[in-house]
Amino acid sequence: MDRLEDALSEHQTEYQKMVAGEFYSPNDPELRQEHIRCHKLLERFNSSTIDEMDARVDILRELFAEVGDNPLVLPRLMCDYGSNVRVGDNFFANFDLVLLDCAPITIGDNVMFGPAVQLLTPMHPVDDVELRNSGVEWAEPITVEDNVWLAGGVIVCPGVTIGEGSVIGAGAVVTRDVPARVFAAGNPCRVIRELQPGDDPQRRSRP
């Protein structure tokens, strides 16, 4: 069976290997062309002005695989391909968002990102120096479920899912899944407490 799988793998494109989580070469000509297409769109997006908000949305719809209603993404935006990114309704991202989408990145509805958030799907060999130096890598998908808030400077590592309604504190490095409806923070990120509706300090101070 292993020989059959190896034979089938040989006939896969590098893009197919990439999105399947297998070793692939980022220097593949097809991937290079996708990378160029992405960065031409990013150049247009990042050079747009504040009075070109509709144009920004049009570029996002051309860049990403799927974009819901009412997106608001502020430049500067960077990603590898864009075509592996899906975002839901009412997505907000502050300045300097990085989406390394070598594997699928899925972002739900009503998700908010602070400045300098990074979602990083690629992985490189750690133990095998020769393999690492060959340039091959693999990638693992990232999922951010509905109603999540990632504060400024959060880094989400490959293979992570952040559960519905959770909040990740500023500067956290998220190396493993986060359950729904919790506040988590730190490096590495860990759950601090469960979230309780109506427990925000600003809400408590109002009459």
d(CA 80, CA 37): 10
Of 162, 143, 121, whose CA–CA distance to 26 is shortest? 121
Q: Helix axis angle, 29-46 relative to 53-63, nearest 10°?
A: 170
For residue 174, the SS3 value is: strand
d(CA 119, CA 128): 25
Reply yes or no on whether 39 is catalytic.
Answer: no
Cβ atoms of 134 and 120 within 8 Å: the answer is: no
d(CA 106, CA 88): 8
Length of the chain: 207
d(CA 149, CA 184): 11
For residue 9, the SS3 value is: helix
Q: Catalytic residue numbers? A: 124
